[in-house]
């Protein structure tokens, strides 16, 4: 049984009523799973009015009350993780264990914000006149419009919802139309946890129509988007035109630096597993592999060996390690990257072709001998292809790693403290992993620099985008 799909506006789950609908399909079988109702303009206006009305009372709730609801959301998410995970595997494709783990680990975002909202402190500034008292307080910014993608449907939505709600804001969230089940399930969690009507609203439709309508509305005071760089730039420009705050979590093209002195085979195994996670459709996926000369052959052999052993299949089948890509358009993108690599003399060491008659399955690929200006080395692949190239010196690899407009995650493998320090200082990235993978936890900031975005989610930075500063002076 697939999730019952609906809009969620002013505390009500809504569908039917002659609204336009869109099919949601299973990327493993191409079968239709359900019909997703699109929000009409009236629905959007109702969501705006509900969010505005709810803000007037929600902003006055105590952090303790908000905290209580968020803790309940986390508890319910853990209870329902298997069911929500199964639905996510059906519409998104990732292996069931990955889907269930996403629900369980991301319930921590609700808990982190439940804890952190009780520490939204202001400060007292010493006055020039002893009779004056001066304070700084931080207040919720208002109604937020959020747009989340299809690769981590639960993760991306709950990060934004929990941060806005904990800060005392209300939110209208447009989830991913390709993979909606986990977002509807998330709305049900908040509903069942006792969130008042209008504080959280979920809408679906044509993304550009919804984002334009919401961002242009004077009711919305903050925009938060996770998705591709081109769309992020459009939405940030629209937010800027209406002088609204914006948080942008955009694409990356994460460099991996493997030095001669690293545990090369261990690094190859770890990176292969990380590369195929969610079929490579991850903004922090390792995507450009630079391996130092002496380690190169050993790395490529082991990495390709592990990648070629990955079991690709339906995410609901036991033993599947990598599911299908989310949509036909991602398969076409993989083929475009490989065509370009072939034309530029690239060598496909393993994988690189569609698998099976049905479903969007693709054999994960390793490509060597391609130039730095190829599409694979300059555009985010967002799929299971790994280009591997050689480097000689630290200075050279830093220059090449920093040469793109992206700056999200980066990965370094070395046993030298000196090298680790030099590259973590020198990499233009929002997140640096050295000899392990450790980003995207609730208590750590997640975000990029350059074209990869503006602002961070998670960590103590999490409320920066949802609060405004007010200075009060009194005598
Ligand atoms: P896309 O650019 O068409 O869409 C990306 C996301 O943005 C989707 O969720 C889509 O619904 C949404 N979107 C598109 N236009 C929008 C608009 N005008 N207003 C609001 N939302 C809008 O690309 P795609 O094929 O779906 O995904 C592939 C690309 O998206 C990748 O290259 C990757 O860079 C990026 N992406 C990034 C993340 C991330 O976590 N940063 C997640 C998913 C996709």
Residue nearest to atom 30 of ligand 1 (CA): 228
* Selected catalytic residue, list 117, 144, 169, 283: 283
3-state SS track over the chain: CCCCCCEEECCEEECCCCCCEEEEECCCCCCEEEEEECCCHHHHHHHHHHHHHHHHHHCCCCHHHHHHHHHHHHHHHHHCHHHHHHHHHHHHCCCHHHHHHHHHHHHHHHHHHHHHHHHCCCEEECCCCCCCEEEEEEEECCEEEEECCCCCHHHHHHHHHHHHHHHCCEEEEECCCCCCHHHHHHHHHHHHCCCCCCCEEEECCCHHHHHHHHHHCCCEEEEEEECCHHHHHHHHHHHHHCCCEEEEECCCCEEEEECCCCCHHHHHHHHHHHHHHHHHCCCCCEEEEEEEHHHHHHHHHHHHHHHHCCCECCCCCCCCCECCCCCHHHHHHHHHHHHHHHHCCCEEEECCCEECCCCCEECCEEEECCCCCCHHHHCCCCCCEEEEEEECCHHHHHHHHCCCCCCCEEEEECCCHHHHHHHHHHCCCCEEEECCCCCCCCCCCECCCHHHEECCECCHHHHCCCEEEEEEEEC
Q: Give Dmax over CA atoms of the chain in angstroms.
A: 79
Average pLDDT over residues 415-440: 97
- Where does the pLDDT of residue 273 fall: very low under 50, low under 70, confident under 90, or very high at 90 and above? very high
* pLDDT per position as a tens digit, 92-125: 999 999 999 999 999 999 999 999 999 999 999 9
Domain 254-434 fold:
Aldehyde Dehydrogenase; Chain A, domain 2 (3.40.309)
Does the C-beta of 176 come closer than 6 Å to ligand 1?
A: yes
254-434 and 7-250+450-474 share a CATH fold: no
Does 283 participate in catalysis according to the annotation?
A: yes
- Which residue, judged by its Cα, is nearest atom 38 of ligand 1? 227
Q: Is 328 in the pocket of ligand 1 (CB under 6 A)?
A: no
Establish whether 209 is a catalytic residue.
no
pLDDT value at residue 57: 98
Average pLDDT over residues 155-165: 98
pLDDT of residue 208: 98
Catalytic residue among 86, 102, 108, 249: 249
Contact between 297 and 260 under an 8 Å Cβ cutoff? The reply is no
Protein residue whose Cα sits closest to atom 20 of ligand 1: 207
Model confidence, pTM: 0.97
**pLDDT tens-digit readout, 277-328:** 999 999 999 999 999 999 999 999 999 999 999 999 999 999 999 999 999 9
**Distance from the CA of 220 to the center of ligand 1, in angstroms?**
21
Measured N-to-C along each axis, helices 394-401 and 417-426 cross at an angle, to the nearest 10 degrees, of: 30
Using the mean position of ligand 1's atoms as its centre, give its distance from the Cα of residue 327 in Å: 12
Closest residue by Cα to atom 8, ligand 1, is 149
Ligand 1: which of 38, 231, 337, 440 to mutate, judged by most atoms within 8 Å of the beta carbon? Answer: 231
Residue 62 neighbours by CB distance under 10 Å: 11
User: How far away, in angstroms, is 179 Cα from ligand 1 center?
Assistant: 12
Judge if the beta carbon of residue 250 lies within 6 A of ligand 1: yes
- pLDDT, tens digit (0-9, with 9 covering 90-100), for 222-231: 999 999 999 9
The strand pairing partners of 245, in sequence order, are 222
Q: Determine the Cα–Cα distance for residues 250 and 231; give it in Å rounded to an integer.
A: 9
Which of these CATH numbers, 3.30.70.100, 3.50.50.60, 3.30.200.20, 3.40.605.10, describes 7-250+450-474?
Answer: 3.40.605.10
Ligand 1 center to 291 CA (angstroms): 30
Per-residue model confidence (pLDDT) at position 435: 98
ipTM: 0.95
The pLDDT value given to residue 348 = 98
Q: Name the residue with tokens 């981590």.
A: 152
Give me the residue spans of the domains in the chain. Answer: 7-250+450-474, 254-434
């Amino acid at each position: 049984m697939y999730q019952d799909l609906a809009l969620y506006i002013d505390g009500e789950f809504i569908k039917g009523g002659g609204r336009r609908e869109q099919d949601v399909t299973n990327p493993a079988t191409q079968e239709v799973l359900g019909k997703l109702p699109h929000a009409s303009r009236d629905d959007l206006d109702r969501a705006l009015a509900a969010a505005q009305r709810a803000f007037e009372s929600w902003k006055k709730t105590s952090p303790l009350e908000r905290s209580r609801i968020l803790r309940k959301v986390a508890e319910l998410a853990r209870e329902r993780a298997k069911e929500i995970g199964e639905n996510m595997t059906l519409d998104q494709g990732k292996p069931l264990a990955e889907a269930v783990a996403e629900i369980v680990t991301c319930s921590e975002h609700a808990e982190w914000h439940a804890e952190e909202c009780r520490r939204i402190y202001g400060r007292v500034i010493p006055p020039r006149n002893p009779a004056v008292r001066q304070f700084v307080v931080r207040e919720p910014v208002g109604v937020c419009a959020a747009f989340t993608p299809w690769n981590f449907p639960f993760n991306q939505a709950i990060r934004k919802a929990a941060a806005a709600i904990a800060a005392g804001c209300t939110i209208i969230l447009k989830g991913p139309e390709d993979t909606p089940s986990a977002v509807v399930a998330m709305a049900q969690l908040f509903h069942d946890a006792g969130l008042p009507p209008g504080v959280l609203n979920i809408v679906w439709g044509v993304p550009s129509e919804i984002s334009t309508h919401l961002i242009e509305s004077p009711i919305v005071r903050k925009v938060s988007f996770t998705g591709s760089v081109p769309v992020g730039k459009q939405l940030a420009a629209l937010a800027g035109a209406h002088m609204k705050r914006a948080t942008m979590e955009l694409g990356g093209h994460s460099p991996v630096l493997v030095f001669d002195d690293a545990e090369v085979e261990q690094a190859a195994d770890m990176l292969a597993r990380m590369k195929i996670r969610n079929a490579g459709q991850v903004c922090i996926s390792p995507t450009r592999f630079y391996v130092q000369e002496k380690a190169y052959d050993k790395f490529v052999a082991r990495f390709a060996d592990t990648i070629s052993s990955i079991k690709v299949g339906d995410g609901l089948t036991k033993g599947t390690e990598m599911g299908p890509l989310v949509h036909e358009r991602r398969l076409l993108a993989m083929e475009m990257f490989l065509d370009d690599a072939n034309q530029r003399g690239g060598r496909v060491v393993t994988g690189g072709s569609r698998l099976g008659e049905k479903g969007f399955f693709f054999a994960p690929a390793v490509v060597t001998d391609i130039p730095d200006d190829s599409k694979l080395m300059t555009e985010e692949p967002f799929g299971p292809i790994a280009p591997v190239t050689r480097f000689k010196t630290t200075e050279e690899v830093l220059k090449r790693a920093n040469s793109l407009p992206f700056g999200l995650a980066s990965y370094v493998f070395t046993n030298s403290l000196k090298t680790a320090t030099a590259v973590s200082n020198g990499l233009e990235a929002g997140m640096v992993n050295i000899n392990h993978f450790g980003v995207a936890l609730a208590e750590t900031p997640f975000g990029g620099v350059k074209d990869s975005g503006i602002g961070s989610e998670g960590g103590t930075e999490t409320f920066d985008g949802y609060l405004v500063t007010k200075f009060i002076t009194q005598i």
